[in-house]
Amino acid sequence: MPNNNPDLSVRNPTEQGLIGRLLLKRELRRLKKRPRHEPFSTKIFGPEVRGVDGKSFFYSFREIFRDHIYEFKANTESPRILDIGSNVGLSLLFFKHRFPNCKLTGFEPDPTIFRIAQHNLDALGLTDVELIQKAAWIEATTLSFQPEGADAGHLTSSGSATGDSFSVNAIDLRSFLNEPIDFLKMDIEGAEVDVLMHCGNELSTVSNLFVEYHSHADQPQRFNDLTGVLTEAGFRYQIHTQFASQRPLCRQELQLGMDLQLNVFAYR
């Protein structure tokens, strides 16, 4: 049941009158043109929210609030939502806009980005959102994390870590699947196949799932493993292209070391 109450603290900035939409367009254009990886603030939601990179914020906002990429049909006014890879919190704001009574837990391991996401929740008065400063993984442990300065920070092996990597705590995601989950959103920059394969049969508690698949050019592709897990768990799925080479048989283009990114929507 979507949120139709205009008095709630989170509003969708795209749902305004003409002047409001024009001002929003101008502000988003400003953010997109900002130098990369420089912190900023904006009042597109009313109160001041912050970000770490204007360009990635622009594209995330467009996907989430204009295109409604995380939209799903809930059968209750208080759906249980797990947001794995919350970044600066735009997805969290969207879920609270659509389902103000949802039981929402987000995970963001990068301490700098975690603090910004927490600020954004506080700025909008969202005190009932649980935000955990840990990575989702196949066990509770400590892992190496490679920051990127925007939305592509990722877990990495100790052998491939660079000088600016650091250790983060991780949880076993399977331990959070012991109750009905209305929506599981996962954007964890390459760790998604390992985590979903580990969850296995526990995915039976999940009604709807979104996962962004990342194919790193220097690693074997594992999309068949991902779809196999979803099929085994009883999901149907649809696939949308996020990034791919225009003419892959002639030239393989890369984006942050990846030759393919896909959005996978799984449902029952």
Quick one: pLDDT band at residue 30, thresholds 50, 70, 90?
very high
Query: Which tens digits make up the pLDDT trace of 110-120?
Result: 999 999 999 99
Quick one: pLDDT band at residue 208, thresholds 50, 70, 90?
very high
Of the listed ranges 28-32, 73-77, 160-164, 193-197, the least confidently predicted one is 160-164
Query: 32 in a domain, yes or no?
Result: no
CATH classification of the domain holding 140: 3.40.50.150
Task: Indicate the helix (H) or strand (E) that contains 264.
Answer: strand 258-267
Query: 40 in a domain, yes or no?
Result: no
Task: Indicate the helix (H) or strand (E) that contains 103.
Answer: strand 103-107
Query: 93 in a domain, yes or no?
Result: yes
Closest alpha carbon to 103 in 89, 82, 122, 86: 82
Residue 121 domain boundaries: 66-267
- The CB-side HSE value for 22 (13 A sphere, CA atoms) comes to 3
DSSP lists the bridge partners of residue 239 as 264
Query: 15 in a domain, yes or no?
Result: no
Tokens, residue 53? 């990179």
Query: Which tens digits make up the pLDDT trace of 85-117?
Result: 999 999 999 999 999 999 999 999 999 999 999
In percent, the amount of the chain with pLDDT more than 90 equals 83
CA–CA separation, 243 vs 47, rounded Å? 33
Contact residues for 132 (Cβ-Cβ < 8 A; gap 6+): 105, 106, 107, 108, 171
CA–CA separation, 56 vs 216, rounded Å? 19
CA–CA separation, 197 vs 126, rounded Å? 33
Query: 20 in a domain, yes or no?
Result: no
Contact residues for 231 (Cβ-Cβ < 8 A; gap 6+): none
Look at the chain and report how many structural domains it folds into: 1
In percent, the amount of the chain with pLDDT more than 70 equals 91
Quick one: pLDDT band at residue 19, thresholds 50, 70, 90?
confident
Let me know: does 177 contact 205? Beta carbons within 8 Å. Answer: yes
Amino acid occupying residue 143: L
Let me know: does 179 contact 118? Beta carbons within 8 Å. Answer: no
Contact residues for 131 (Cβ-Cβ < 8 A; gap 6+): 86, 89, 92, 105, 106, 107, 108, 114, 117, 118, 121
For the chain, give percent helix, strand, coil, nearest 5: 30, 30, 45
Helix (H, G, I), strand (E, B) or coil at 128: coil
Give the pLDDT of residue 76.
Answer: 96
| pTM beyond 0.75, yes or no | yes
Let me know: does 178 contact 226? Beta carbons within 8 Å. Answer: no
Between the CA of residue 23 and those of 14, 18, 43, what are the distances in Å?
10, 9, 11
Query: 37 in a domain, yes or no?
Result: no
Query: 38 in a domain, yes or no?
Result: no
Query: Which tens digits make up the pLDDT trace of 123-167?
Result: 999 999 999 999 999 999 999 888 766 666 667 755 555 668 889
Give the pLDDT of residue 3.
Answer: 45
Query: 48 in a domain, yes or no?
Result: no
Task: For residues 175-201, give the mean pLDDT.
Answer: 96
Let me know: does 96 contact 129? Beta carbons within 8 Å. Answer: yes
Contact residues for 29 (Cβ-Cβ < 8 A; gap 6+): none
